Amino acid sequence: MENGFYYHVHGFTLYSEIECPELLLVTESIPDVRVQVGLLADFPLHQKHPHQGYCIEGMHMLLNIKDVGRFSVKDGREIIVDPAPDAEPKMIRLFLL
């Protein structure tokens, strides 16, 4: 058993290392989407992008929200969250959900 939470949201089973009290808890099952907390040190912050704050390459999106954190979304199924120092959990969930 993993240390995390299983939810049902928008027709998907979601496994998350981040607690989301806004979502409906379900019993452990095979998740369609996984949310993990991790470091995104290679986030291309200093490269020129047509849109500040995010970068999309194929099926991979990187999102940077000031004072909240960095988010990596791959293939619509794998999300890695790198919270900013002192980020409020409700703000992280706002951009996650």
- The helix/strand count (H/E) of the chain reads as 1, 8
CA distance 61 to 76: 9
CA distance 74 to 32: 13
CA distance 19 to 32: 17
At residue 82 the predicted structure's pLDDT band, cuts being 50, 70 and 90, is: very high
pLDDT digits (tens, 9 = 90+) for 7-57: 999 999 999 999 999 999 999 999 999 999 999 976 665 455 555 688 888
Could you tell me the pTM of the whole model?
A: 0.85
Paired residues of 81 in beta bridges? 37, 71
Q: Domain limits of the chain?
A: 5-96
CA distance 15 to 96: 13
Question: How far from 40 is each of 8, 31, 62, 84, CA to CA, in Å?
Answer: 26, 23, 9, 11
With CA atoms as reference, report the closest residue to 62 among 23, 46, 31.
46
